[in-house]
A and B are shown apart, each in its own frame.
Chain A
Amino acid sequence: MSKIGVFICHCGENISATVDCERVAQEIRKVEGVEYAIDYKYMCSDPGQTLIKDAIREHHLDGVVVGSCSPRMHEPTFRKACAEAGLNPFLCEMANLREHCSWVHEKGEATTEKAFDLVKMLVEKVKRNKPLDSIKVPITKKALVIGGGIAGIQASLDIANTGHQVILIEKDPSIGGHMSQLSETFPTLDCSQCILTPRMVEVAQHPNITLYTYAELDSLEGFIGNFTAKIRLKAKSVDHKKCTGCGACFQKCPQKRIPSEFNAGLGNRTAIYVPFPQAVPNKPVIDREHCNYYKRGKCKICEATCPTGAIEWDKEDEIITEQVGAIVVTTGFNVKGADFFPEYGYGKYKDVLTGLQFERLASASGPTLGEIRRPSDGTIPKKIVFIACAGSRDPAKGIPYCSKICCMYTAKHAMLYQHKVHDGESTVFYMDIRAGGKNYEEFVRRAIEEDHVNYVRGRVARVYEKDGKLIVKGVDTLLSGQQVEIEADMVVLATAGVSNCGAEQLAQKMHISYDPYHFFAEAHPKLKPVETNTAGIFLAGACQAPKDIPETVGMASGAAVKVAGLFSNNELVREPLIAVVNRCAPPQFSTCVGCFMCQTACPYNAIEREEIKGRDGKVIKTVAKVNPGLCQGCGTCVAFCRSKSIDIQGYSNEQMFAEVMSLLNH
């Protein structure tokens, strides 16, 4: 005869507004096996937890059900509370009365009844719970950071500085990411490269950081503390040990007209190239798609000019395997191209640019050495129009969200333009100005008041070219919808920030979830912003959602601390919710017949063969055995087992059946 305690939480009014918590408590008391039941305003609060602990001691409870929020939120909290009162934490279950009941139904009889059913369901389950002991597994104290932008750089340095090993992989030939492309940064207007490049060098020289550029994650296996990562080192075709980075090769390369990724297509690069002068590592790779030799089988000029014989024509991709305990994903974002906008010419007008392209124009390291010039004819634009929310907040284009950084960088662009072209006229078409952040609003006001940028509230309907001018058809909604037509020399679109290409595939490799726009999903929108749903994998920067540099750096340091925290233990405690093969008395020993269907089902190779021997050492039968270190508790084997000999702790057949029964038997 079990003694279950039930604790119904009001969650302030979140639950009690639609569920009659008091009645649920009263009714549940009548259920067989329920010893004690009570409702309380905030069960997770300190007095709430004390309430539970005292009840456990007073009433010698052997099981607890807390009816409150989602177990994904507070299961650890309440299990800990139970443990503190001497009850095995796995004898505590939660009924999800908030997310799955009070928040999704109107106030009423049916809602309270459902709440009761949910609680009763867990009562029936917990009656059949068994005390379990956590499993301890060793931790590999080495971190993998994926993506060498500012987020990856910051996370790597922070982890490395706690004394732990870091492997940083970057898919491009150099680290630096988007930040290295930026001219000056808001709200301080300090030069992006001036603050970034020292960090890049630090990464390259840090004793605890192993940097692999031109490398991508090939596959990932294992679990928190014990991941096995296969990393593809793409063939650079240049031996960086021999290469001195003298640059002779790319000065001679005949392929000179390849659009430079670093310059967002505004400048050109060669086939053997270093993306930009401050690149880390500052050594070239060969872009095989454009290289004459790989395309036509002859050229090899770079090889002839290379003083150290570093060119490796037949070098192939290499796969290396690394054991790591934690992963920080910092793969960043991308921006929509101008060709995404029919109304602005499908990208056919040379002088309609994206914000990122404008950054390159304004940057001293850019194709025009920092002079704002029209890509079409190299003249200096006298009239320039900036269009905010280009693609963002535009459900029709499939992007309903705000890209967050555009308001600020558009103000910065207009400012930079006014500083560089004194007699120039700049207009910004905007819908709202979102300048939340330290000194952000002041920054925008400066653009308007001191640099006399003309801000017009309204969206632009279309842009077309006539006699070398770009005709911008806009509107001023503050003048009750007066139409505004501007003959501009250049138009800059603050195009939407979107998830990086391949984000979805990467997420699937790592089994982390992502949102409909392929930004990676954090474990909890407020309280677990850097964790993912997969333990041991953390997020930082714009791969989670568009964000600016300060936020990204903060998040990266946050993720680093999580990793350091994990590495501060020698062993990792894991929930014992894993599969077990039953055992029974001789001569049967186990109902397992050794068909090993479970083995075919297990994604983790956690099923081993065990020989049961008699006293004489003769093998009586071979049965399945679960390796608790490897089992992740998915339970696929349980559904596969014909003789029902394998079961999963915490989700056992008995428990699950009891839950279903309780829902229907009345």
Chain B
Amino acid sequence: MENNNKISGDLLLHTSVDVARCYQCGKCTAGCVLASEMNFPPSYLMRLLQTGTEENYERILRSNTIWLCLNCENCLGRCPMEIDIPKVMDYLREQSLNSNKLHPDAKPIVSFHKSFLDSIKYTGRLYEVGLIAGFKARSFRLTQDLKLAPKMYLNGKLNLMPEMIKDRKGIGEIFAKTIDNPKTKHK
């Protein structure tokens, strides 16, 4: 049978995860290290998806659940139906991001990811000092890790200068064609 529901249909298309397979045993939630911090745990999220209503989908995209998921994949590892929840989370994060429905808790996480990717975009590799700086700028957490950085430096864990790869142009293009290209975003 065709799946006529827009929400679960699109999800199936992009992640090949069929939410109908979930029989709500809750094993994913039982083993989730951050379930208690989430607005609602993974199994509940799967249930919301099963309802297929716009209003519940909205709840998901605006929740901190999708952002607090660490992709540790314990849920997938233990799911009796082998449902790839981490993949679903990735997809939902992208959706939430593209439709600007970020939960407040998501902001620092997104800032971090963005700073991380920026640093790659320009150097090809992660430039930790740049990352931290960028993150602080984005998140206004100017004082965070102030104690950490010097010791890192002393222990020779920080490069003050970024490592640059030769083919930075190539990397730039990869970004241009993917994340910086509005067309690649799942609608």
Asked if residues B80 and A481 are in contact (CB atoms below 8 Å), the reply is: no
Judge if A483 is at the interface, Cβ distance under 8 Å.
yes
Q: 8 Å CB contacts to B: which residues of A401-442?
A: 431
Kindly supply a per-residue 1/0 record for chain A positions 566-593, scoring 1 wherever the CB is within 8 Å of any chain B CB and 0 otherwise.
Answer: 0000000000000000000000000000
Interface centre among B35, B42, B43, B80 (most CB of A within 10 A): B80
Judge if B150 is at the interface, Cβ distance under 8 Å.
no
Stretch of B20-28, B124-132, B171-179 on the interface side: B20-28
Top 9 nearest A-B pairs (CB, nearest first) are A461-B31, A461-B30, A475-B30, A481-B41, A459-B27, A459-B25, A458-B26, A475-B26, A394-B80
18 more A-B residue pairs beyond the given contacts A393-B80, A461-B28, with a C-beta to C-beta distance below 8 A:
A343-B78, A389-B25, A396-B79, A396-B81, A397-B80, A459-B80, A461-B27, A461-B31, A461-B32, A462-B30, A475-B27, A477-B29, A480-B44, A481-B26, A481-B29, A481-B40, A483-B29, A484-B30
A394 to B21, CA, bound (A): 12
Judge if A525 is at the interface, Cβ distance under 8 Å.
no
Judge if B82 is at the interface, Cβ distance under 8 Å.
yes
B residues in contact with A484, CB < 8 Å: 30
Q: 8 Å CB contacts to B: which residues of A437-491?
A: 457-462, 473-477, 480-481, 483-484
A132 to B64, CA, bound (A): 77
Minimum Cβ distance to chain A for residue B29 (Å): 4
Q: Which A residues lie at the B interface, using CB under 8 A?
A: 343, 389, 393-397, 431, 457-462, 473-477, 480-481, 483-484
Interface centre among B41, B44, B82 (most CB of A within 10 A): B41
Asked if residues B82 and A459 are in contact (CB atoms below 8 Å), the reply is: no
Asked if residues B82 and A396 are in contact (CB atoms below 8 Å), the reply is: yes
A626 to B140, CA, bound (A): 95
A residues in contact with B26, CB < 8 Å: 457-459, 475-477, 481
A435 to B158, CA, bound (A): 63
Minimum Cβ distance to chain A for residue B50 (Å): 13
B residues in contact with A462, CB < 8 Å: 30-31, 78
Asked if residues A474 and B30 are in contact (CB atoms below 8 Å), the reply is: yes
Q: A474-B30, A475-B26, A477-B26 are in contact. Are A461 and B78 (CB under 8 A)?
A: yes
Asked if residues B44 and A481 are in contact (CB atoms below 8 Å), the reply is: yes
Asked if residues B80 and A473 are in contact (CB atoms below 8 Å), the reply is: no
A residues in contact with B23, CB < 8 Å: 393, 431
B28 closest partner in A (C-beta)? A461
Kindly supply a per-residue 1/0 record for chain B positions 1-34, scoring 1 wherever the CB is within 8 Å of any chain A CB and 0 otherwise.
Answer: 0000000000000000000000111111111100
Partner of A395, one of B24, B74, B82: B82
Kindly supply a per-residue 1/0 record for chain B positions 23-64, scoring 1 wherever the CB is within 8 Å of any chain A CB and 0 otherwise.
Answer: 111111111100110001111100000000000000000000
A396 to B31, CA, bound (A): 17
Minimum Cβ distance to chain B for residue A158 (Å): 40
Kindly supply a per-residue 1/0 record for chain B positions 68-94, scoring 1 wherever the CB is within 8 Å of any chain A CB and 0 otherwise.
Answer: 000000100011111000000000000
Minimum Cβ distance to chain B for residue A462 (Å): 6
B76 closest partner in A (C-beta)? A396
A373 to B80, CA, bound (A): 31
Interface centre among B29, B35, B40, B79 (most CB of A within 10 A): B29
Partner of B43, one of A343, A395, A474, A477: A477
B residues in contact with A480, CB < 8 Å: 40-41, 44
A483 to B40, CA, bound (A): 11
Interface centre among B27, B32, B74, B78 (most CB of A within 10 A): B27
B residues in contact with A395, CB < 8 Å: 80-82
A343 to B79, CA, bound (A): 11
Minimum Cβ distance to chain A for residue B152 (Å): 34
B residues in contact with A481, CB < 8 Å: 26, 29, 35, 40-44
Minimum Cβ distance to chain A for residue B170 (Å): 40
A residues in contact with B80, CB < 8 Å: 393-397, 459
A residues in contact with B81, CB < 8 Å: 395-396
Asked if residues B40 and A473 are in contact (CB atoms below 8 Å), the reply is: no
A343 to B27, CA, bound (A): 11
A514 to B153, CA, bound (A): 68
A residues in contact with B32, CB < 8 Å: 461, 483
> Which of the four size classes fits the interface of chain B?
20 to 34
Q: Which B residues lie at the A interface, using CB under 8 A?
A: 23-32, 35-36, 40-44, 74, 78-82
A residues in contact with B42, CB < 8 Å: 481
- 19 cross-chain CB contacts under 8 A: A397-B80, A457-B26, A458-B26, A458-B29, A459-B27, A459-B80, A461-B31, A461-B32, A462-B30, A462-B31, A473-B30, A475-B27, A476-B26, A477-B25, A480-B40, A480-B44, A481-B29, A481-B42, A481-B43
Minimum Cβ distance to chain B for residue A204 (Å): 44
A431 closest partner in B (C-beta)? B25
A residues in contact with B43, CB < 8 Å: 475, 477, 481
A residues in contact with B30, CB < 8 Å: 458-462, 473-475, 483-484
B residues in contact with A458, CB < 8 Å: 25-27, 29-30
B residues in contact with A459, CB < 8 Å: 25-27, 30, 80
Minimum Cβ distance to chain A for residue B8 (Å): 19
A residues in contact with B78, CB < 8 Å: 343, 461-462
Asked if residues A460 and B36 are in contact (CB atoms below 8 Å), the reply is: no
A393 to B26, CA, bound (A): 14
A396 to B21, CA, bound (A): 12
A residues in contact with B40, CB < 8 Å: 480-481
A476 to B29, CA, bound (A): 9
Partner of A475, one of B29, B74, B79, B82: B29
Q: A461-B30, A477-B24 are in contact. Are A483 and B82 (CB under 8 A)?
A: no
A481 to B40, CA, bound (A): 8
A343 to B31, CA, bound (A): 10
Interface centre among B25, B43, B78, B81 (most CB of A within 10 A): B25
B25 closest partner in A (C-beta)? A459
A197 to B81, CA, bound (A): 42
B46 closest partner in A (C-beta)? A481
A residues in contact with B41, CB < 8 Å: 475, 480-481, 483
Q: A459-B80, A460-B30, A462-B31 are in contact. Are A483 and B36 (CB under 8 A)?
A: yes
A355 to B23, CA, bound (A): 24
Asked if residues A473 and B31 are in contact (CB atoms below 8 Å), the reply is: yes
Minimum Cβ distance to chain A for residue B87 (Å): 16
B residues in contact with A476, CB < 8 Å: 26
B residues in contact with A483, CB < 8 Å: 29-30, 32, 35-36, 41
A343 to B76, CA, bound (A): 13
A483 to B26, CA, bound (A): 9
A474 closest partner in B (C-beta)? B30
Interface centre among A394, A395, A475 (most CB of B within 10 A): A475
A residues in contact with B24, CB < 8 Å: 431, 477
B74 closest partner in A (C-beta)? A461
Minimum Cβ distance to chain A for residue B180 (Å): 37
A residues in contact with B44, CB < 8 Å: 480-481
Minimum Cβ distance to chain A for residue B165 (Å): 41
A395 to B26, CA, bound (A): 16
B residues in contact with A397, CB < 8 Å: 80
Minimum Cβ distance to chain B for residue A461 (Å): 3
A residues in contact with B79, CB < 8 Å: 396
